[in-house]
Amino acid sequence: MVTKANAEGSETAEIGVIGGSGLYSFLDDVTEVTVDTPYGPPSDSLFIGDVEGRRVAFLPRHGRAHDIAPHRINYRANLWALRSVGVRQVLGPCAVGGLREEFGPGTLLVPDQLVDRTKARVQTYYDGVPLPGGGASKVVHISLADPYCPEGREAALASARGREWEPVDGGTLVVVEGPRFSTRAESRWHASMGWSVVGMTGHPEAVLARELGLCYTSLTLVTDLDAGAETGEGVSHEEVLKVFASNVDRLRTVLFDTVGALQAGETRDCLCSHALDGIDTGLELP
Ligand SMILES: [Zn+2]
């Protein structure tokens, strides 16, 4: 059942999930909440429902019709919208290519590092540029040495193991601009750097979450071996969708378990929760 709500503040959630468009239909009794932000509209409405006794806001990253390309996603609006309904912990499942033969299709990898190879994305709230509604941030430099929430990672890893889906604990997600896939040379280069998986949406999602003091945990599902790690035709979109579809049920189960395993937001004491301690951003965060 989908109930609609427009008023911000009438519906709240503590945990956000930014993921593929198929997920919200699995939540019972969702309330569809439309949210606007100083950065424009997010990818879609927020779909708020109960998971494991927690209030969860699901946001289809590419819009419900999957018509927003990775480089055109309004990442700032997405994270801001989640925070504005009360979200403090975010799970960011995404499809990736494996950069090593042992990371074949169906691998679940919970990265602990991130490399940005995007080219044209707004990736900060703190650039000092005036906002349309008035006001401007200060120029702020936050720490991103460890881009993911350590507690969220542990919850995700334990949840996968609990479902007998042995995850890869750690590794580097390199994010490319897309929407095209990599050339073989790019893919071999990424692999030779020791990076693990390649995707198109993990950046600037993680950065912006940290800038808002949100916990962010990436769960990457390998849907293909990237161009340099195999000898066939290269990656196809059909192949990615097929592998994602065949894993979506267990990924959803692991996400639900992870939601249940996250500590209550108000008791957070991780590095993410302290990201803005002592910093005047110039913005009033929602
Ligand atoms: Zn955290």
Identify whether 283 is part of a domain: no
Identify whether 29 is part of a domain: yes
48 C-beta neighbours (distance < 10 Å), count? 26
Q: Which of 169, 224, 249, 257 is catalytic?
A: 224
> Which amino acid, one-letter code, is at 31?
T
Determine which helix (DSSP H) or strand (DSSP E) holds 116, and give its type and residue range.
strand 113-117
Structural domain range at position 194: 2-274
| 249 is annotated as an active-site residue | no
- The pLDDT tens digits of the residues spanning 179-226 come to 999 999 999 999 999 999 999 999 999 999 999 999 999 999 998 887
The pair of three-digit structure tokens given for residue 88, joined into one six-digit string: 């403090």
CA of 104 to the centre of ligand 1 (A): 29
Pick the closest to residue 9 from 31, 30, 41 (CA basis): 31
For the chain, what is the domain count?
Answer: 1
Q: Is 45 annotated as a binding residue?
A: no
| 224 is annotated as an active-site residue | yes
- DSSP three-state, residue 194: coil
pLDDT value of residue 244: 80
Identify whether 226 is part of a domain: yes
pLDDT value of residue 258: 97
Identify whether 280 is part of a domain: no
- The pLDDT tens digits of the residues spanning 86-131 come to 999 999 999 999 999 999 999 999 999 999 999 999 999 999 998 8
Q: Is 253 annotated as a binding residue?
A: no
Identify whether 130 is part of a domain: yes
CA of 265 to the centre of ligand 1 (A): 9
Residue 172 sits in a domain whose CATH number is 3.40.50.1580
Is the predicted pLDDT of residue 76 greater than 70, yes or no? yes
Q: What is the pTM of this model?
A: 0.93
The pair of three-digit structure tokens given for residue 61, joined into one six-digit string: 């990253």
Identify whether 214 is part of a domain: yes
Is the predicted pLDDT of residue 147 greater than 90, yes or no? yes
Identify whether 284 is part of a domain: no
Q: To the nearest whole percent, how much of the chain has pLDDT over 70? A: 91
Q: Is 201 annotated as a binding residue?
A: yes
Q: What is 67-111 written as a DSSP string? A: -S-GGG--HHHHHHHHHHTT--EEEEEEEEEESSTTS-TT-EEE-
With bands split at pLDDT 50, 70 and 90, how would you rate the model's confidence at 132? confident
Q: What is the distance between the alpha carbons of residues 149 and 206, in angstroms, rounded to a whole number?
A: 10
Identify whether 281 is part of a domain: no
